[in-house]
Each structure stands twice: as structure tokens, then as C-alpha cells.
């Protein structure tokens, strides 16, 4: 390996939103740390990072967060700010971390650059590592604090800070390392797609103080009734359309591995319009105009059920996770009667009664809807109803994406049969979660597109009778590499498969 052993993470701005769910231990607080670094000492200065942090801080205050704003942080100051953030959050809280400034990828890990990061040239990776903040470490710190929901946003989309005329910079192919190894309960969004550059402005006449991504993302956060997935989808569409007006390609990419919906500004619009207020308007006037709607207040409870959707040949299984011990669970769609889920042949040691069935079945053609769940707690009190949004297409993509992540070793298989064949049946089976498959033959750089059949939402796991499921390789082929671009725009790690692991059956 030559000196180009790590790639610039600044050619593509990163915005990662992570939701880590644990059982709450106390009343939820909303706490945010926003960091903006402009005034770099040894690498090029930036113009909009501090403004981006201030805008996000103002936005989060409107959403009820206690906000700490940190500007132009040296390495020591950055550490102190993170320690203060640690001390401000605890079990059951919602934590929001925002960073705008230079970022860099080294050996698959993303680093946030303080203002005193030293200039570095070819082969000086350790200088950058030692002087910077590892992004994954922030995730670990918030997990250690057992916060209920962690939201991290990194807008590090500027040019390579280490490029210098006449020198070999510590740089490479460009792009951030995808953060694909995050646990379930994680939502991530990049301000641009893999190997794309995020725009600070649209033209010389663009007088906005914020980057194209941050100005859009901040506005979407304030839209009432949007969960984080909807915020990401709308941000992605708007940013892409704005970039296209000047012939630039920027499509924010997000990864949804959360197990429930997270609303920062109220519950779903349909429910908010249908239910009646439970408190006088003056009781929520402290946070206009983005206070949590008063309709269905139970939906914002820290004990609200979490739903996981799984698609199978017979339809949908919806499994509910409820923190409280329960004596019974019921559900409905629309305005019909609530139906009991029934009971399992298992005793719940917490109640010493039969355990309620935690799942329901929906038909394969079930339309998008809101499922209302309620349950009887251990004291016999009815809790709920709690609204859970069911979007069949989004649920299918999420489910198949999770399966693909868990079965990456099965993406390709090799077989000796009148020559060397490579089968990609597994990818075809879960193609609804995939936008593009790229492969490399005898190279670790996927440089060819492998065509997939179109997704059939009505029968997503079926394989068309005329689908091509394998390709013939030269007998001398030693390895293949695979990279998936998912429907949400995120990109998998590059997986390498060696043909030595082949079957002769």
C-alpha cells in the first residue's frame, strides 16, 4: 500500500442521524451540542460552518432542546465541550449533536478536525488521527450515557483541507467512509451521496449564510408532524433539485435502521388533525410555533410501543415492543373497533400471567395506514392509544436492507459447472432495497453495474422466471468485489469474495 492509504472525507458532507433506544429511567430531556469550526490555523479556513451551527442551535431551541453552542474549537476545547455534553444527558434523554467544519476519513473511520489540526502531507495519517475527534467515539459516548434517542448530524462537506500545490497531500479517491456498522435503532443521513460534493452555495448571488444542506435540513426539522425519515426524504428531494439547477449532482443519502418513528415536532399530521386538544392552547405557548401538538399526547410518551415490520410470502408481521409489563394488547386501523392480539402459551414472570401476543398480521396488499395500539399495564390501567405509521414500501425497503446487511457473506456464490459461474440470486431476492449493484472482477474497486430485475412490490421476494441469476467468469478469476447503493441513497461497504470458495456440485 502506498502513501494514499486513507481518503478525504471532506469531498462529501456527512450528516448522520442516529437513534439509539433504551428503556427510559427518568423524564425525557432534550439536550443539544452544536459545533461550528471556521477559524482553522494550519488548513484552509471556512466561511459558513459557524453560521450553520448557529442556525441549527436556533432551530433546536424552537424544538424544545437545551442547546450548547461551541464555535472554533481547538482539540482541548472540543474535548471539554463533549465532556459537558456527556454530563448534561442521561438515561431516557434525547441527545442531538451537530458538527459543521472539516472532516477526514482515515482507514474507514471518520474524524472531525479541530481548528488546531496540524497540516499533514503524504504518509502523516497519525498526525491527523491524534489531533482529531473520532466520530464513532461520539456514538459510543452517547450509548454509554444510555440516552433514549441520539441524533448526530455532521456537515463536513468542504474541500480537502490538506491539499497543497507542489506537495502530495494526504488524500485519495474522495468520499466519506459509510457508517454501516451502527446498531439497530440508528438513522443516518449524508449531506451528499457517496463520492459527491456538497454545495456551500448555489451561485455568487446566493446570499444565504448557510450551506445548501443545512439551510434545507433545518427548515424540514421545523415541519410539524414529520418523523426523521420524512425529514430526510424531503431534505434529499429539495437539495437534489436545487443542485440540479446549476448542473451539480448532490443527493443526500440516509440509512434508516431505527425501530420506531422519531418525531421532534409532533405526531403524524393526520392524527393531529383528527384528535381533540387535551389542554388549553396557552399551556404550550412557550414553544411556538413548533410545540408538540396536543392531539394524542400519549404518542410522545417514553413508554410508547415500538413496531418492527417484516414482509413474508403471506403478508406482513408487525411485532410490538412494549417496555411496561402488559396484561393485554389491542389494535385497530382506522375508526373500527379495537381487536385483541390474544395470548401466548408463556407466563410473563413480571405479571405471573399469560403473556399477550406481541404481534399482528396484515395482508400483503395492506395499504399505508396508521395503526393504533393500546395496552393494559400491570396495575390494570389502559395506556394509549399510540399511533404507529405503516408505510408498506418504506417498511419493505427497511426490512430487506436489514437482511442484506446481516447476510453480506451470501451476496455472491461461485460454482464450477462447465466453467466458472458466479451466482447473485441472493441480491435478486432482496432487490427492492437496492438501487444499484456495482461489481469488480479481479479488482477491489467495483467498476461495473450489475443489472437487477425491477422490484415487484406486490410479491417482492419472488424472482421473475426470465431473470438472469448468474454470469460466467474467466477460469483464472481470483476475486470479485461488490458494492450496493441502497434505495435510500446510502452505500454499503465494499465486500470482497474469493473464487477459491467455490462449489463443484
153 exposed, middle or buried (CB, 10 Å; 0-12, 13-18, 19+)? buried
Secondary structure of 110-163 as H, E, C letters: EEECCCCCCCCECCCHHHHHHHCEEHHHHHHHHHHCCCCEEEEEEECCCCCCCC
What does the alpha-carbon distance between residue 340 and residue 342 come to, in Å, rounded to a whole number? 5
Pair 16, 156: CB distance under 8 Å: no
Look at residue 457 in the predicted model and tell me its pLDDT. Answer: 81
Q: What is the mean pLDDT of residues 380-393?
A: 88
pLDDT at 110 over 50: yes
Identify which has the larger pLDDT, 492 or 270: 492
Place 482 in a pLDDT band, splitting at 50, 70 and 90.
very high
DSSP state of 202: S
What does the alpha-carbon distance between residue 75 and residue 83 come to, in Å, rounded to a whole number? 12
Task: Tell me the pLDDT tens digit for each residue of 156-179.
Answer: 755 667 665 433 334 433 455 666
Task: Tell me the pLDDT tens digit for each residue of 329-382.
Answer: 999 998 888 999 998 888 888 888 888 998 999 988 888 989 999 998 888 889
Identify which has the larger pLDDT, 36 or 307: 36
Pair 49, 181: CB distance under 8 Å: no
What does the alpha-carbon distance between residue 400 and residue 431 come to, in Å, rounded to a whole number? 8
pLDDT at 117 over 50: yes
Copy the grid coordinates of residue 215: 439551510
pLDDT at 114 over 90: yes
Q: What is the mean pLDDT of residues 300-325?
A: 77
The DSSP H or E segment spanning 233 is helix 228-244
How many CA atoms within 13 Å lie on the side-chain side of 317? 9
What does the alpha-carbon distance between residue 54 and residue 75 come to, in Å, rounded to a whole number? 20
Taking 3-state DSSP, the helix, strand and coil percentages for the chain, each rounded to the nearest 5, stand at 20, 30, 50
Task: Tell me the pLDDT tens digit for each residue of 369-383.
Answer: 899 999 988 888 898
Phi, psi of 225 (to 5 degrees): 80, 10
What does the alpha-carbon distance between residue 86 and residue 141 come to, in Å, rounded to a whole number? 7
Cα dihedral value 308, 310, 316, 319, nearest 10:
-30
Task: Tell me the pLDDT tens digit for each residue of 240-291.
Answer: 999 999 998 888 777 666 667 788 887 554 444 444 444 433 333 333 333 2
Pair 71, 53: CB distance under 8 Å: yes
Look at residue 173 in the predicted model and tell me its pLDDT. Answer: 37
Question: What pTM value is reported for the model?
Answer: 0.54
Amino acid at each position: 500500500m502506498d502513501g494514499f492509504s486513507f481518503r478525504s472525507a471532506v469531498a462529501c458532507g456527512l450528516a448522520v442521524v442516529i437513534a439509539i433506544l433504551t428503556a427510559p429511567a427518568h423524564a425525557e430531556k432534550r439536550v443539544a451540542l452544536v459545533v461550528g469550526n471556521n477559524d482553522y490555523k494550519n488548513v484552509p479556513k471556512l466561511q459558513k460552518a459557524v453560521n450553520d451551527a448557529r442556525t441549527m442551535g436556533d432551530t433546536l431551541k424552537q424544538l424544545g432542546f437545551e442547546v450548547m453552542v461551541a464555535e472554533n474549537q481547538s482539540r482541548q476545547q472540543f474535548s471539554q465541550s463533549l465532556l459537558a455534553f456527556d454530563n448534561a444527558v442521561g438515561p431516557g434523554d434525547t441527545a442531538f449533536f451537530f458538527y459543521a467544519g472539516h472532516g477526514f476519513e482515515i482507514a474507514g473511520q471518520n474524524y472531525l478536525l479541530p481548528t488546531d489540526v496540524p497540516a499533514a502531507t503524504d504518509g502523516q495519517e497519525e498526525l491527523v488521527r491524534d489531533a482529531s475527534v473520532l466520530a464513532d467515539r461520539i456514538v459510543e459516548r452517547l450509548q454509554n450515557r444510555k440516552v433514549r434517542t441520539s441524533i448526530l448530524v455532521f456537515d463536513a462537506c468542504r474541500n480537502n483541507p490538506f491539499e497543497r500545490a507542489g506537495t502530495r497531500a494526504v488524500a485519495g479517491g474522495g468520499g466519506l467512509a459509510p457508517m454501516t456498522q451502527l446498531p439497530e435503532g440508528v438513522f443516518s443521513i449524508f449531506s451528499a451521496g457517496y463520492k459527491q460534493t456538497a454545495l456551500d452555495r448555489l451561485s455568487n448571488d446566493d446570499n444565504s449564510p448557510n450551506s445548501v444542506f443545512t439551510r434545507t435540513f433545518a427548515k424540514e426539522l421545523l415541519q410539524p408532524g414529520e418523523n426523521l425519515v420524512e425529514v430526510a426524504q424531503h431534505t434529499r428531494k429539495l437539495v437534489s433539485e436545487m443542485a440540479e439547477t446549476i448542473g451539480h449532482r448532490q443527493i443526500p443519502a440516509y440509512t434508516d435502521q431505527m425501530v420506531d418513528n422519531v418525531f421532534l415536532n409532533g405526531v403524524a399530521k393526520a392524527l393531529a388533525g383528527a384528535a381533540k386538544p387535551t389542554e388549553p392552547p396557552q399551556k404550550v405557548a412557550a414553544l411556538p410555533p413548533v410545540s408538540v401538538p396536543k392531539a394524542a399526547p400519549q404518542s410522545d410518551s417514553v413508554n410508547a410501543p415500538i413496531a418492527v415490520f417484516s414482509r413474508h410470502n403471506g403478508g406482513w408481521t408487525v411485532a410490538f415492543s412494549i417496555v411496561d409489563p402488559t396484561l393485554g394488547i389491542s389494535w385497530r386501523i382506522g375508526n373500527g373497533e379495537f381487536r385483541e392480539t390474544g395470548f401466548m402459551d408463556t407466563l410473563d414472570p413480571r405479571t405471573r400471567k399469560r403473556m399477550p401476543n406481541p404481534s399482528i398480521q396484515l395482508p400483503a396488499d395492506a395499504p399505508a395506514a396508521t395503526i393504533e395500539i393500546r395496552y393494559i399495564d400491570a396495575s390494570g390501567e389502559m395506556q394509549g392509544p399510540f399511533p404507529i405509521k405503516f408505510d408498506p414500501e418504506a417498511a419493505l425497503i427497511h426490512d430487506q436492507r436489514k437482511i442484506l446487511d446481516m447476510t453480506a457473506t451470501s451476496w455472491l456464490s461461485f460454482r464450477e459447472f462447465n466453467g466458472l459461474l458466479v451466482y447473485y440470486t441472493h441480491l435478486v431476492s432482496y432487490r427492492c432495497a437496492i438501487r444499484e449493484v456495482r461489481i469488480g472482477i479481479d479488482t477491489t474497486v467495483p467498476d461495473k453495474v450489475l443489472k437487477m430485475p425491477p422490484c415487484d412490490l406486490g410479491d417482492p421476494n419472488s424472482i421473475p422466471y426470465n431473470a438472469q441469476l448468474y454470469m460466467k467468469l474467466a477460469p483464472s478469476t481470483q476475486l470479485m468485489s461488490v458494492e450496493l447503493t441502497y434505495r435510500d441513497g446510502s452505500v454499503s461497504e465494499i465486500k470482497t469474495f474469493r473464487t477459491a470458495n467455490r462449489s463443484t456440485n
